[in-house]
Amino acid sequence: MSLRLRTLAGAVMLETPVPDSMEDLQLKLDMVTDVPAALRKILYNGADAKIEDLWHAASRAADTETDGVVEVSFLIDHSPYYRWDIAGNPDHPCLSGSGSEVTFADERFDYVNVLSQVPIKSGVHFVEFLMHMLQDEQWCGVTWSSSRAGRSGGDVPGCFYYSGRRGHQNGHLDVDRERCHRLPFAHVKSGDAIGLLLDADRHVVMFTLNGQLQGACTVPDEAMYFTTALDRQGDCVELRRRLPAEFPYKLADVPSSKFVLIEGPRAHSEPGLSGRSSPSSRSSI
């Protein structure tokens, strides 16, 4: 009895005797694809199957007959790139929602940062942060550290579109950390859409607001998570995937005055405003 794994186009990726264990089967899959495990999708008998389901089915078939093939299909599901990791957030009891939408449901903490489920290592990706509810301030962008998730990640590095606080005239491009303002951006309010184009091959991020170019910056050669910061109970952000070809600007369209290189000295945050403070002690920027 053997196990045959095909792409949806019908090409054989793997054909092997039924492995002795689920771990052996996982290792064999790892050898034939460099796709992260979270993006792998296996179809058996026309339905989604987990590794353990597939191995048990193949093992049962091997117990009843020595010849034959267990046929399964393999596809790549990119949706975890664009879904919020709510269940894996260290402060998930404060959050509600599913898929691409998240809400700050319980403001027991000052803020909670949320990351996408799987970091991006290559390719060009266009998303919009739909600000369904923004009541004070938020940071939307990318980070190369999973430690940003939760209520303790305000000083974790990243590249962010800072909304500005209510009553302010501007937002900002924050590079390296929150409040490390490098460029003035347009102010963001509820109902706005922050566009972000991540070119993970050229290590560049570009930002728009409601389709209008705001600026761009370089990022390190690291795997990137999309991230948002929920600051007030009821804040709600949807991460909407768009086709890269729909992004309205090319990198050549960005003037040098709106392009930030992160090489060299790190930006300095404003005195006393590294990260976020309690609501009662927040200062105007």
Which sign, positive or negative, has the C-alpha torsion 8, 9, 14, 18? Answer: positive
Confidence check: pLDDT of 265 > 50 = no
Confidence check: pLDDT of 81 > 80 = yes
Confidence check: pLDDT of 140 > 90 = yes
Which residue from 118, 166, 174 is spatially nearest to 141, judged by alpha carbons? 174
Q: State residue 65's pLDDT score.
A: 58
Query: Rounded to whole angstroms, how far apart are CA atoms 149 and 117?
Result: 11
Query: Rounded to whole angstroms, how far apart are CA atoms 238 and 130?
Result: 5
Q: State residue 70's pLDDT score.
A: 81
Longest dimension (CA), the chain: 73
Q: State residue 62's pLDDT score.
A: 65
Highest mean pLDDT among 4-13, 14-23, 227-236, 264-273: 227-236
Percent of the chain with pLDDT over 90: 61
Q: State residue 269's pLDDT score.
A: 37
Residues of the chain with CATH 2.60.120.920: 82-270
Instruction: Pick 1 or 44 by higher pLDDT.
Output: 44
Which residue from 118, 144, 88, 100 is spatially nearest to 241, judged by alpha carbons? 100
**Pairing relation of β-strands 95-98 and 158-162?**
unpaired
Which residue from 109, 215, 205 is spatially nearest to 152, judged by alpha carbons? 109
The string over 72-99, giving b where at least 16 C-beta atoms fall within 10 Å of a residue's C-beta and e elsewhere, is: bbbeeeeeebbbbbbeebebbebbebee
Mean pLDDT of all residues belonging to the chain: 87
Question: What residues contact residue 116 under an 8 Å CB cut-off, 6+ apart?
Answer: 80, 81, 82, 83, 84, 85, 225, 226, 227, 239
* pTM assigned to the model: 0.80
Domain 2-77 is found in CATH 3.40.50.720: no
Confidence check: pLDDT of 196 > 70 = yes
Q: State residue 64's pLDDT score.
A: 64
Residues of the chain with CATH 3.10.20.90: 2-77
Which sign, positive or negative, has the C-alpha torsion 18, 20, 25, 27? Answer: negative
Beta-carbon count within 10 A of 154 CB: 18
Identify the burial level of 140 via C-beta atoms within 10 angstroms of its C-beta, where 0-12 means exposed, 13-18 middle and 19 or more buried: buried
The sheet carrying 40-44 orders its strands as 12-17, 2-7, 69-76, 40-44, 47-49
Strand partners for 277: none
Percent of the chain with pLDDT over 70: 89
Encoded tokens for 104: 């700050």
Q: State residue 189's pLDDT score.
A: 97
Is residue 267 a contact partner of residue 168, using CB atoms and an 8 Å limit? no
Whose structure tokens read 């000052």? Answer: 110
Beta-carbon count within 10 A of 8 CB: 11
- Give CATH for domain 82-270: 2.60.120.920
Q: State residue 99's pLDDT score.
A: 95
Average pLDDT over residues 33-62: 77
